[in-house]
Amino acid sequence: MSLDVRLAAIRRATVDLVAPLSAEDACVQSMPDASPAKWHLAHTAWFFETVVLETLIPRYQSSFANFRMLFNSYYNGIGPQFRRAQRGVLTRPTLADVLAYRETIDVALQRALNAGVPASIADLIELGIEHEQQHQELLLMDIKHLFSCNPLAPRYRAPRVPGAHTSAPLSWIKHNGGLREFGAEATGFAFDNERPRHRAFVAPFALANRVITNAEYCEFVDSGGYRAPQWWLADGWHGVQTEGWAHPEYWRRQDEKWSEFTLAGTVPLDPAAPVCHVNYYEADAYARWADARLPTEYEWELAAEPVAISGNFVESGCLHPHAADAVTDNSQALQLFGDVWEWTSSAYAPYPGFRPLCGAAAEYNGKFMSNQLVLRGGACVTPASHIRASYRNFFYPHQRWQFSGIRLARDCR
């Protein structure tokens, strides 16, 4: 697909995601970590305007000068930013204004592409496309959180019946490890944090064939896992006591049964579906309780690199993880891509030889490389074309509103 066609498709997809929302839904911010849907719409246009159009067009004059500050997320190199925790007070510009802003930027981008752009600009547009896909996922995470705060439990869209309701049995796939290469090759699109490709040594290990199910996680909960400090990292146990974590973020207890809030409203908890919206501490505690551990990001990548990218992505329309179909071949890794982001035990850190992007984009990834952990593989709200085996997502260990789940690993001796 040519760049202009891809650009148009991605831009349209973002607007389509907002279609089920009222202007009210699109405006509100339910917590500082989340942003309003309208803000995502505006910020992704802002990114194209500020990073692409300002670079391309000499003496570029925006018709939306106020937006430079309002929709700057965190780029100190570009200028001051409107306070993150206050994004929800921006009832103006209205949703209609923001959609008009997007159109203006889209017209300018397509005009530029028609006229032909140098490769460096094409690369920035590529970056803008991937950036927009990240915000598509964030938009769905944020709407889910917003709706979850409402006792009316609104639906973002009608439920779609998932395929399997039973899950493949858990089995372990051995890997020899060794001195191997990791990270993205030098060519083709990848974020700066996936590069450079480099060598690392991995000891033999075994990886679970699929992610942990709700039924399996229920056993941990029912066995008193949230009341037993021995399973928890000290910081996690502190969170259990001060934040009251007692089950995954969106689980609800009704009539002595578990249900789960989803983008299709509250539904009974599917025991065969992957557990989702657990934070790192919960994932780590579950693993310890299960006499296993979380994989490193190298272990995960080693297992995933040979596997074709397919799975339950945003395009399935389900917007919820579903069970891994049983397969005849027990040695086949399931669900590596899609369904849930998989917590790894690897701190989000620069790869050896890491160089950030140039210019404003230098702040894109590098400055967040502390206190966070790497997650791999994409989720049911990730665009399929956005994911790679080398893709490194990252969240703070206490965060739970992303679609995060658990795949176990074990040492192999």
Q: Contact positions toward a second copy, by CB under 8 A?
A: 22-28, 30, 38, 66, 69-70, 74, 76-77, 82, 86, 88-95, 146, 149-152, 154, 179, 198-201, 203, 229-230, 232-237, 280-281, 284, 293, 345-347, 349-350, 352-353, 362, 367-371, 397, 411, 413
In the bound state with a second copy, the residue whose beta carbon lies nearer, of 58 and 151, is: 151
Q: Which is nearer to a second copy, 323 or 360 (CB)?
A: 360
To a second copy, the closest distance from the beta carbon of 372 in angstroms equals: 9
CB-nearer residue toward a second copy: 28 or 117? 28
The pairing of beta strand 404-405 with beta strand 341-347: parallel
Least Å from the CB of residue 335 to a second copy: 24
**Helix, strand counts (H, E) of the chain:** 11, 12
Closest CB to a second copy among 156 and 337? 156
Give the separation between CA 193 and CA 376, rounded to whole angstroms: 13
Q: What is the spatial distance between Cα 223 and Cα 215, in angstroms, rounded to a whole number? A: 12
* Closest distance of CB 269 from a second copy, Å: 23
Report the residue number, 154 or 271, with the smaller CB distance to a second copy: 154
Strands (E), 38-175: 172-175
Q: What is the smallest separation between the CB atom of 234 and a second copy, expressed in angstroms?
A: 4
Helix (H, G, I), strand (E, B) or coil at 409: strand
**Cβ at position 20, least distance to a second copy in Å:** 12
Alpha-carbon distance of 207 to 76, in angstroms, equals 41
At position 115, the amino acid (one-letter code) is A
Taking the alpha carbons of 368, 370, 371, 375 in that order, is the dihedral positive or negative?
A: positive
Nearest-angstrom CA–CA distance, 100 and 110: 15
Half-sphere exposure of 247 (CA within 13 A, CB side): 18
Evaluate whether 233 touches 398 at the Cβ level (below 8 Å).
Answer: no
Least distance in angstroms from the C-beta of 198 to a second copy: 7
Of the pair 279, 312, the CB lying nearest a second copy is at 279
Q: Which is nearer to a second copy, 26 or 304 (CB)?
A: 26
| Residue 182: strand, helix, or coil | strand
Rounded to whole angstroms, the Cα distance separating 342 from 380 reads 12
Q: In 10 A of CB 186, how many CB atoms?
A: 9
Rounded to a whole number of angstroms, the minimum distance from the CB of residue 289 to a second copy is 14
Letter for the amino acid at 32? P
